[in-house]
Chains A and B, each alone.
Chain A
Amino acid sequence: MKKDLSRRDFLKMSGGVVGAAIITSSLFTALNRFKTRGPTYQSTGKSLSRWCMIIDLRKCQGLLRCTQACINLHFVPKPQKWIEVYKPETAKGGRYFMPTPCFHCENAPCVKVCPVKATYHNEEGLVLVDHDRCIGCRQCMAACPYQRRFFNWGTPKLPPEGVFAKYSPDFPVPAKKGTVIKCIMCSHLLKEGKLPGCVRGCPNGVIYLGDYNKDMASNSQEVVQLSKFLNDNHAYRYKEEMGTQPRVWYLPGHGESFGGIYAQGPKGLKSLVWPESGV
C-alpha cells in the first residue's frame, strides 16, 4: 500500500492537529478557572506572602487621609482615586464611609479578559498592570465590577520627581498615557517590608495589611491574628456573590468609634490635592 502523504493530506492533517491543540489548550485553561481554592484565608504553607487587606468600617471617620497619602506616594494623576472613600447608605437613610482600594480579586475578572496579559497576578497574589504592554482597550475596566480601574486619558501631570522615577509594575510612576492604571497595594513598599501608604496614612488605624500565609495583619498600630480577627468581627467581602474572591475584607460598621457618623460630612481633609505641575 502506498504510504506517501500527498501535500493536501499533510495540510489537512496538520490543520487538524493545530486546531485540536488550540481547542484542548483553551478548554484546559477554562477548566482551570473552576478549580477554586478552598477558604482563601488559609495558609498555603509557602514562604511567600499572600497579601490581603482588612478595612474596619467601625473606625472610619471619612478623613480621606488614605486617598491623599496614596496620591502623594504615587503621584496619582488627577482625578483618579486609587483608594476612594465611598459613602453608601445605611439601612435608615444615614451614610457611612467605605474606603475602597482595588480588591486584588483572586478570581479577577480583569485578569481574565486582558487580551495581552498586561494585567496579571504577581506571585504574591496582587493584581498588577504592565504599562509597557497595555494596549488601552479598557476591556478590564468594563469587566471590573467594582469600578476600581482608571485610565490615563491624557498625558498625566507629574512633578519632576514623578517624571524621573524608575517605572516598574510595582511602582507605576510615571503614569503612561493611554494605559489602564490602578491601586497596586503598594507592592513596591511591601517588597521593602513596609506597610502600604493608605495603611500608614490613616490616623485611625482603619486599614490593616494582612498576610494569609503568616496569618497576621497590622494597621501600623497593632498586630492581630488574621483568621481570628476576620472571624470574630464578621468580616465580609464586597459583592461576594459575584465570585470574584476579593482580597479586601470589610468589618461591618458605620464609624461607631466616633459615635456613629450618620449623615455627617467628612471631617478634617475636605478636598484632595493632586499633583499639578507638569514638566
Chain B
Amino acid sequence: MNTDSNENYNKRLESSVFDPLNHTSKGYYGFLLVLLAIIAWGGFAYITQLRYGLIVTGLNEVTLWGVYIVNFIFFIGISYAGTLVSAVLRLTGAGWRTPITRMAEVIAVVGVMIGGLMPVIDLGRPDRISNLLVFGRLESPLVWDIIAITTYLIACLIYLYLPLIPDLAIMRDNLEGRFSPGRRKFYTFLAAGWENTPEQKRSLEKGMRIMSIIIIPIAIFVHTVVAYIFAMTLRPGWNSTIYGPYFVFGAVFSGIAAILIVMAIFRKIFHLEEFITERHFRNLSYLLMTLLFFYAYFTFSEYLTIGYKVEVAEKELLTQLMIGKSAGWFWSFIIGGLLVPAFLIVFRKLRVIPRVVAASVFVIVGMWIKRFVIVLGTLQVPLMPFEFGVYKPTWVEISVSLAALAGFTLLFALFPKIFPIISVWEVSEEEHHEQPTPVDIPAKNIPRIFGRFKRGVKKNVL
C-alpha cells in the first residue's frame, strides 16, 4: 500500500520535473525575450564602456570601485550558500534536503559564473586579462581570488553533475520519443553509461561524499579571499581582522535567502507544491534566522570595536555611516536587512511561505546594500586632507548590473528546460527508505523564541 502511494508520488514527481523539458508555454518565451533584451542592453552599455573607457562610469580616483565590485561580492555570496546548504545537508544526512539540493547547486554554479564576470567587467584593460596567467603573482590577493574562484567553479560543476548522472540516465531510458535524437545523444553522453548497478552506485555515492566534503573548505576559501581583497589594504573599515569570517557568514546568509526565493519561484511555476513543501521553507527559515543572528553579531562586533577607539579615519568612516551621507544606506541595511526579516521569521501568525519569502527578499536586498556600504563607505573616507569622495553610478553601470541580474535569471530559466530541477532519484530513494513521514522538528522541540508554537505548528505539520 505504501509502495503504491510511493509509486504514484514518484510518477507525479517525474511528470512535474520532466514535463517542462519539452512543454514550453508562450509566456516562457516572452520572459526569455525580456531577459535577452535586458542583456542586450547591458551588452550595449558594456561596449560603450569598452569604447570610451571607464570614464562612462561614475568611478573616480577616490571611489575607485563601484557597483561592479559590489555585484561581485553579492553574486559570489549567493553562490556560496548553494554549495554550503547542499553539502552540509548531504553530509548530515538531512532527509528533507533532497528536493532542494539541485536548486542549491544550480545557484552555486550560476552565481559564481555571473559573479566571476563582474571584476572582468570592472577592469580597465580587459584585453590584457591573459596577463594574469602569464605574469600572475601569488602574493596578490586578486590572484588568490582567481585561483579560488576557478577552483570553486570547477568543483561546483562537478558537484552539480555527479547527482545529475542517474537522472540523466532516467531521461535517456524512460523518456524516449520525447526528445529529438540529437538531444537524446546529449543525454546519453552525459549519463556516462549509468546503469544503476550496485558498483556504480557505490562509486557515485563515494564521489558525492568526497565532493561534499571538499567543497566546503573551497567555498570558505573563496569568500575569505574575496574579503582579503579589501582586508589586505590599509583603509579604515577594510583594515579588519574579522573580514574573512564576516564575509563568509554574510555570504551564507544572503545565499540561503536566495535559495528560498528561487524555491518559491520554481514551486509556483512548475507546480512543485507536493515536493517542495512548507516544511522546507520553515526549516530553511530557521537556518536563515541563525545566520541572521551570526551576521548581526559580526556587524555589532565590527562597528563597536572601531567605534570605541575612535581612531581618526575610522571615526570619519563611522560618522559617515551612522549619521553622515551613507547613513541612509547603512540604516536601511540594519532595519531592512536584519530587523524586518528577523521579525518576519519570528512572527508566526502569517502563513509560512509568503512570510519567509518576504523575509528573504528583504535579506537579499539588504545584503546588496550592506556590500555597497562596505565598498563605498570605506572608499569615500578621505585618506589625505581633502573632501569626501562622491560616487554616483551612471546608466552604464546600472545597465550592466541589471544585465547581470537578467543573466542570472536567464541561466536559471534555462536550466529546468534542459535538466531536471529536482533530483528525482534522490527524492524517490528517500521515499523508499520508508522513514516515518519526516516531520521536521517536533513542535515540542521548537524553541519558544519562534513564537507561540502550539497554535503555529499544529496546522503546518505535514
Contacts and interface: CB of A to CB of B under 8 A. Distances in A.
A is bound by B: yes
B66 to A, nearest CB: 10
Contacts of B379: 142
Contact of B137 (A117, A143, A154): A117
Interface residues of B, number: 45
Contact of A116 (B57, B61, B132, B384): B132
Interface residues of A, number: 47
A114 interface: yes
A153 interface: yes
B217 interface: no
Interface in A51-83: 80
A116 B137 contact: yes
Interface string A143-184: 101110111111100000000000000000000011110000
Contacts of B233: 109, 113, 142-143, 145
Contacts of B232: 112-113, 143
Contact of A138 (B64, B138, B139, B382): B64
A177 B124 contact: yes
A145 B384 CA distance: 8
A88 B52 CA distance: 35
Interface string A74-101: 0000001000101111000000001010
Given A114-B140, A115-B143, A116-B135, A153 B383 contact: no
Given A86-B385, A115-B132, A135-B125, A178 B54 contact: yes
Contacts of A118: 131, 135
Contacts, number: 138
A22 B57 CA distance: 38
A209 interface: no
Contacts of A150: 61
A109 B235 CA distance: 11
Contacts of A84: 384
B136 A116 contact: yes
B300 interface: no
A137 interface: yes
A141 interface: yes
Contacts of A139: 140-142, 229
A29 interface: yes
A145 B235 contact: yes
A102 B351 CA distance: 61
A93 to B, nearest CB: 14
Nearest to A143: B233
A147 B233 CA distance: 12
A177 B51 CA distance: 10
A225 interface: no
A152 B53 contact: yes
Q: Which of B135, B229, B235, B384 has the most CB of A within 10 A?
A: B384
Given A87-B385, A135-B125, A178-B124, A153 B138 contact: no
B430 to A, nearest CB: 34
B53 A86 contact: no
Contacts of A179: 124-125
A25 B137 contact: no
A86 B384 contact: yes
B143 to A, nearest CB: 5
B54 A137 contact: no
Contact of A142 (B123, B126, B235): B235
Contact of A137 (B123, B235, B385, B386): B123
5 cross-chain pairs, A with B, having the tightest CB-CB distances, nearest first? A136-B124, A178-B124, A154-B55, A153-B55, A115-B140
Interface of B: 52-57, 59-62, 64-65, 119, 122-126, 128-129, 131-132, 134-143, 146, 229-230, 232-235, 379, 382-386
25 contacts: A26-B138, A30-B139, A87-B385, A88-B385, A112-B232, A113-B232, A115-B143, A116-B132, A118-B135, A133-B135, A135-B132, A136-B54, A136-B125, A137-B122, A138-B64, A139-B229, A141-B61, A141-B64, A146-B383, A147-B384, A150-B61, A152-B53, A153-B60, A154-B56, A178-B123
Given A138-B64, A151-B64, 11 more contacts: A84-B384, A89-B385, A116-B132, A133-B135, A135-B124, A138-B122, A143-B233, A150-B61, A153-B59, A178-B53, A179-B125
